[in-house]
Amino acid sequence: MKRRSFLTTATLASAGLTTLLITGCTSSSKKDQEVAPANVIDTNFELEEETIASLREKLASGKYTSEQLVQLYLKRIETVDKNGAQLNSVIEINPDAIAIAVAMDKESKAGKSRGPLHGIPVLIKDNIDTADKMQTTAGSLAMVGNIASKDAFVVRKLREAGAIIIGKTNLSEWANFRSTQSSSGWSSRGGQTKNPYILDHNPCGSSAGSGAAVSANLCVVAIGTETDGSIVCPASVNGIVGIKPTVGLVSRSGIIPISKTQDTAGPMARTVTDAAILLGAIAAIDQDDAITLESNGKNHKDYTTFLDVNALEGKRIGVEKKPQGNNKYINALLDNAISVLKQQGAIIVEIDYIDKINAFGEAEFEVLQYEFKDGLNSYLAQANAKVKNLKEVIDFNNKNEDKAMPYFKQETLVSSNAKKGLEDKKYLEALNQSFEGSKRILDAVFKANNLDAITGITMGPACSIDVIYGDRWGGYSLTSPAAISGFPHITVPCGQAYDLPVGLSFFGTPYKEGELIGLGYAYEQASKKRFKPALKASFL
């Protein structure tokens, strides 16, 4: 889940959800920024800005082996993430990564190829089970020692595709469903992840580590998870591409849950092409996750077939008529993006839907609390963790408050634990209002306007890190409509404000990932707005 700033206010019941969600903070326009010491920025990193295709070409030519690629990325992590900039995006290294790479090299020499991910190093979020020597902790000290007995389904698909999981990424603890005053990207086990553009700024959450690691070239692609914004927010503020699939396209089995209604895993990459490749590898029906049965006949093994520079031609793209905010720099980015869309043949249609979705904020939070308690208790009952239910997590944190809760507390865990079961009338009423209600509204908007997608600024630029008082975000966000309804969503870099990245969103109706990938790719190729992070020490 993303930074739960919509939970930080006592006026939740009277405020719209999107108004309170992660968006982007306004700040001084001062451009003179202190640059980090030279040893922080590894300008000679030979794999900088590589793609899956370019790495595959180098593997095929013999310039590199997979073992060498893994070694180079592990060195990069040590240099930039752990020392140097202390980006702190990787929470654990896979001790078997080199051995797996050697095995993939042997298969390649024998003429076997598992596909485009064969021999490619990837990172995954630390709420995804791996049946190896790595832990799965959701960043929580209460979960330390949890070694999964079985790979998550997405991990199994990655291994089948030949991907090499080189480590796990840090995240907002419990996917940012612990406190109303949390700092995105902070966990009691992993500490604070930083934004690779300006290190004293926030990487957004909860897939903070995955977003920062991809952006800083610690890997070529990574897996994140989202309940509401946790893929698209960190993708946006870290200057990369993120895809939040339709709920049901990608399995959630073996992933520490928040919400069975809204949870999904998804790809994070520096290019739309790489995100499409990764999505094709993990999208599949899983008998252990019944919702994936709905994707039968709607998923694709290869989403790169949708990559088309002319995909925007004739497409009807909705834009909320109400301004997302009043920051002239961010608004200028949206205006520029819309101009690009028009130049590529898109038809822009003004629509009115944001305030209607905002009204479901309180109901969504109610649903998430009920489903978090139910889902986590089920997960922990079968896990190899020392805590066996949510109540024991809360008790552990209370007993170890100085280490587990040095900055902010666990009021969201406590309020979730107080909920009844999923048969409770209050839960069912909230579910009908938030999930079903949002779908009805969006379906009507898409149908009435004959839309192919809706677009807008994904998030404003990152705010400063503040572990004491929590995140302070401004007024730009387009994470919730797709999240609350289960619809697919892609974000693509669209420029920068205050030397920080800003993303552009496209979201559509269920199982239209391919079409959205096409739109995102056409915009990406026409705009070319990805820029490498400089690892500046501070904004001022």
Domain boundaries, the chain: 5-25+35-352+435-527
Residue of 210, 230, 416, 485 marked active site: 230
Give pLDDT, residue 540.
Answer: 84
Task: Please tell me whether residue 341 adopts helix, strand or coil conformation.
Answer: helix
Residue of 2, 125, 194, 373 marked active site: 125
**Which residues are CB-contacts of 57 (< 8 A; sequence separation ≥ 6)?**
none
DSSP-assigned states of every residue in 205-262: SSSHHHHHHHHTTSSSEEEEEESSSTTHHHHHHTTSEEEE--TTTB--TTB--S-TTT
CA distance 395 to 500: 39
Is 230 noted as a catalytic residue in this protein? yes
Residue 535: DSSP 8-state: -
CA distance 88 to 71: 19
Give pLDDT, residue 473.
Answer: 83
Using one digit for the tens of pLDDT, what is the confidence trace for 106-123? 999 999 999 999 999 999
Give pLDDT, residue 9.
Answer: 30
Give pLDDT, residue 39.
Answer: 41
Residue of 66, 206, 207, 527 marked active site: 206
CA distances from 54 to 74, 117, 120, 425 (A): 19, 12, 11, 54
Q: Which CATH class is domain 5-25+35-352+435-527?
A: alpha beta
**CB distance 225 to 264 below 8 Å:** yes
Give pLDDT, residue 395.
Answer: 98
* Element containing residue 454 per DSSP (H, E): strand 453-457
Q: What are the φ and ψ backbone dihedral angles of 234, each rounded to 5 degrees?
A: -65, -30
Tokens of 232: 């698209």
Using one digit for the tens of pLDDT, what is the confidence trace for 394-422? 999 999 999 999 999 999 999 999 999 99
Give pLDDT, residue 44.
Answer: 78
Is 183 noted as a catalytic residue in this protein? no
Residues of the chain with pLDDT under 70: 1-43
Give pLDDT, residue 517.
Answer: 99
Give pLDDT, residue 4.
Answer: 42
Is 206 noted as a catalytic residue in this protein? yes
CA distance 335 to 338: 5
In 255-389, alpha helices (H): 272-282, 328-343, 354-358, 361-382
Cα dihedral across residues 250, 255, 259, 265: positive or negative: negative
Give pLDDT, residue 5.
Answer: 42
